[in-house]
Structure 1
């Protein structure tokens, strides 16, 4: 049972009828089901089969003590105008795991566990804006359930007197439902959605299906087996679809209609995934049954999810953190980006860095859902573009195996390196929405809650290992036993960034209590981790990716020597950008866009020039010793210009017309 929902053991029920004999009643409901309430449902029953529910509205009321959202205010309303009951006079509204499948699908965990109320009214959903108080006007029937005396009384005052029933009378409140009896009272029994409460056997023929495989790799074949709970007297035919975003009929071979002959219970269809040459990424394939079943048939489930592994992945030109490479990925920091910190010493140096990486009206923060998309790119495995690299466990995991439910086994999720509870990071508006790079929230050094979705300290991690770390300090947490520590420097530099990015966050020596807010340790360990595990190409690539989204960089990746001037053995000394950085920052490349010439100015020291096309192929190289004009015959397109001096590289985009 979802702990975020209010637990309840006793259910109170109240009936108020708008007319002497109601044509529609609340026949059964189950608000309290195992785990995240994916099997919760409400069942309505009409006196006659195939009865139109036009003119009815189902309303759910919050009985909590909240003065703004509870005390009998509505939190959900469903207009029933377009719906009709089935051959048994039944109609079910429920979660994704209700079986047979609900007629109207609710988002999982919609029906609150109590103390709350379910009510059926005459009217429309527009009569019940969110947070409207319950009323006896036009009320057909209401059910109040819960244990909190004050909350029950609030709902009674609004909806009328009622007897009280104990939902846990059999000790199985998670696995039983309330069912209406002929005498108008309710009893607690095993749930029977889509079946009459007093029926010994299901009053329908159930349709289900299974697949021979749940994970496929191009060009695998697989079977789908369709099964009825009893043999039909006439041939049963139904359509279905394979779909999900880009997956379509070009990606498989096989029929999308099946027939089970009269007198038989099942049939099997075979399919093959097309092995194309496109890198479409791994895909989640959904099998969806059509909803136009004949009378007397019900879908026991309506969909199945399969994973299709694309064998056309890309391999990056740099190594994993376990097999690191250096110098293959250059910083994408703009020219002069770090000039603000040049020739400064602590504490002015720290203030300048904070100004740079938290600059208001420049730096952006995105939603927590956007972070998932950022990590798919920033933490992509160099060995396979369809996988992410998991930090602590130092392994790959498929991008499509992102954790979306309470189960984390075999899944990856988002790890806050500065733990959320110890930073007191909170959600921002629309955090549940992935709205892309072009929509962002403004931020500054005082916007501490934005640490919730700052991708510079969020990493793809194994779900269970994320839980193992919890909110511990480092090295109080030092990874799983098998860890080789390839992530040590990454963690250190992420925390150095957070220390200066947000006011009220401080790195300290030692290991403060895990409940300490605003402090994290151990600083001495982090400094050593940074020295032993310098920034590699993997880390530089993710710095570039995050910069594209947030318009700020982690300076300790681009300029690792900064650590010594702020935390290490050169504190108090003046930090000077390297000669190479100075030389590269002054170069001016014009015009851009260009036609057939490129003018390079302010070259004060020898520099190597490399130009790469969009496919990463070097198309031009030249040593530059002075201001120069280069005449070229490059084709129209986008190019990357690399200026390289020593270990430093500056990269610019060049548009050729």
Structure 2
């Protein structure tokens, strides 16, 4: 169930004058992420036109202090069926609603829904509930708390508790013929008492039933519940949906199921173009159907994977590369840091990355597009890379409903929103890279949309992480290789310098007071062991293009030690600050990922070797002899291999599978 929805559900009803049409059934509290919500109307006579009617959903509260509208649906052009029934709801409701609404649209209460004579323009969002022209109304919640203000405004008096049998998610509220209500298994699109005309249901299916690829053909199969009688059943359908348009397919979309038959099949050919459009969804939508039939399902969604995606020359965080992505730092960007130390150095960094004459703030909605560029999977430009779970996800699987929904990705705040008390301005528009406001170091609300600490993440794992401190409490999902840990550390370091009032400290600190996150010791270790790679450099370049500031701890990871770690108080000079000799040492090892051994190439003398776990623990120490095999006995995961020669060290990432 939708977490943002209210937890209580009571139905209130009264003997107001219902007139020709009444609210006949309501199911707002449904399993999981509220994908089976619906509301049903019933007219006294069949095939009744609903012109001049409008359905309005009102938002109540546990205190009963509010009573304003949050969704309005104009019913002009619709009619009830042979049983006098009209129902609207989510796409997965069966039989298919005559009018569909987005998942999780109907709040769980304490709220109300009302049927008026009028138009949608009479009820813009935020309209106070009223009884003028009211034809039918229900106030509801799933406990014992009543939306009292709404009840008064809508002339409602008594109530029943839908959850009285502790089965709110498996029953709906259904009106009986005497005007009272009962709780039963949902009956969308049918009389509540089981009487009336039984319609021949049409079901839509797809073969093959899987994600499709550009250039493939597929069959759409239409099946009726019983054989066709009297006259051939004829109807048409479409598959256009958003960016998936008429240039993406070919085929015939007129369907005939002959008398005596139950099935018709149409073959559709997908176009294999050369455009990088990203993955798309086609939607199989049946148009009008003859009287006596009902759609068991409709608006069936099928994913079409684009085979023209861009491939970057660098690797994913699980298979990192270095120095392939260009560092696009403007000339002289960090010059003011030279020769500074301690708090003076920290202030000099903030003066660059929070410069109010340069640095930009974008809306939280813009972050979606920002992440699609910054977190793009190098191996497939149609995907984003999900940080903690270390796998890609199609960009089109962007979360639009309930947080934590399986199969979707969302925007993860590395410095948790609750700890930073950032503003998320959810109603701000997605207005693009060219619309921005100025921001400075005291503008803590800007942190809610700061791309340097926002990452694409698996929605359920985002919920698991919640506001937990790294290292001492949260270390990612079971079995992860830790390829994200250095990224997290450098994002935290950035935030703790960019914004006044944000701190990174040792230990498993509470979220109160706001402005504190841990664990500093762990993050400093992660910064050293999980080196900044090309994936991070690319996202640093992308975020700079939007915000006009960079994360200096990606450009110079050792800078963290001078601001937060063991080198605090020492003078910073760029030329001496980063003892990573990867560019000077032509050293590599194979295989990687490895299992039982590795061979290191490029070493000309016996070399001390140390191997560290992702948590910073030394798990191996020894000497490597050139052209030999180094046998390993390590558990699966990510490790850092440190090699030292002539007082210099280099560290490389090792994956054990």
Instruction: Bin the TM-score by the shorter chain.
Output: 0.7 to 0.9
**304, 308, 312: which one aligns with 1:308:** 304
Matched pairs, number: 574
What's the counterpart of residue 450 of structure 2? 454
Superposition deviation, residue 544 in structure 1: 0.3
What's the counterpart of residue 496 of structure 2? 499
Distance 1:315 1:166, change over 3 A: closer
What's the counterpart of residue 591 of structure 2? none
Residues 392-471 of structure 1 aligned to structure 2 (within 5 Å): 392-406=388-402, 408-431=405-428, 433-471=429-467
Query: Are 1:115 and 2:110 an aligned pair?
Result: yes
What's the counterpart of residue 339 of structure 2? 343
Q: TM-score, normalised by structure 2?
A: 0.80
Query: Are 1:11 and 2:11 an aligned pair?
Result: yes
What's the counterpart of residue 244 of structure 1? 241
Query: Are 1:262 and 2:289 an aligned pair?
Result: no
What's the counterpart of residue 527 of structure 1? 524
Question: Would you say the 8 A contact 1:94–1:104 is kept in 2?
Answer: yes
Query: Which whole-Å CA distance do the structure 2 matches of 1:300 and 1:447 have between them?
Result: 53
Residues 199-218 of structure 1 aligned to structure 2 (within 5 Å): 199-200=194-195, 203-212=198-207, 213-218=209-214
Q: Could you say what secondary structure the match of 1:259 adopts?
A: strand
Q: Could you say what secondary structure the match of 1:269 adopts?
A: strand
What's the counterpart of residue 538 of structure 1? 535
Distance 1:496 1:259, change over 3 A: same
Superposition deviation, residue 247 in structure 1: 2.8
What's the counterpart of residue 550 of structure 1? 547
Superposition deviation, residue 546 in structure 1: 0.8
Q: Could you say what secondary structure the match of 2:432 adopts?
A: coil
Distance 1:393 1:135, change over 3 A: closer
What's the counterpart of residue 85 of structure 2? 90
What's the counterpart of residue 488 of structure 1? 485
Query: Which whole-Å CA distance do the structure 1 matches of 2:116 and 2:135 have between them?
Result: 5
Superposition deviation, residue 170 in structure 1: 4.7
Superposition deviation, residue 541 in structure 1: 1.0
Which residues of structure 2 form unaligned runs of 5+?
579-657
**179, 184, 187: which one aligns with 1:184:** 179
Distance 1:354 1:152, change over 3 A: closer
What's the counterpart of residue 53 of structure 2? 56
What's the counterpart of residue 563 of structure 1? 560
Query: Which whole-Å CA distance do the structure 2 matches of 1:489 and 1:23 have between them?
Result: 65
The Cα RMSD (Å) is 3.0
Indicate the larger mover: 228-237 or 245-254: 245-254
Query: Which whole-Å CA distance do the structure 1 matches of 2:158 and 2:386 have between them?
Result: 55
Residues 118-133 of structure 1 aligned to structure 2 (within 5 Å): 118-133=113-128
1:99-136, CA deviations, whole angstroms, 9 ceiling, x for partnerless residues? 22323333333333333333233333444444444333
Indicate the larger mover: 6-15 or 146-155: 146-155
Indicate the larger mover: 528-537 or 545-554: 528-537
Question: Would you say the 8 A contact 1:346–1:572 is kept in 2?
Answer: yes
1:576-617, CA deviations, whole angstroms, 9 ceiling, x for partnerless residues? 444999xxxxxxxxxxxxxxxxxxxxxxxxxxxxxxxxxxxx
Superposition deviation, residue 385 in structure 1: 2.2
Distance 1:66 1:211, change over 3 A: same
1:140-171, CA deviations, whole angstroms, 9 ceiling, x for partnerless residues? 23333347777454444333364433323554
Distance 1:393 1:50, change over 3 A: closer
Query: Which whole-Å CA distance do the structure 2 matches of 1:405 and 1:253 have between them?
Result: 32
What's the counterpart of residue 73 of structure 2? 78
What's the counterpart of residue 607 of structure 1? none
Query: Which whole-Å CA distance do the structure 2 matches of 1:115 and 1:580 have between them?
Result: 59
Superposition deviation, residue 547 in structure 1: 0.7
Which residues of structure 1 form unaligned runs of 5+?
582-657
Query: Which whole-Å CA distance do the structure 1 matches of 2:463 and 2:124 have between them?
Result: 39
Q: TM-score, normalised by structure 1?
A: 0.80
What's the counterpart of residue 196 of structure 1? 191
Superposition deviation, residue 501 in structure 1: 0.9
What's the counterpart of residue 628 of structure 2? none
Distance 1:192 1:519, change over 3 A: same
What's the counterpart of residue 155 of structure 2? 160
Query: Are 1:390 and 2:386 an aligned pair?
Result: yes
What's the counterpart of residue 608 of structure 1? none
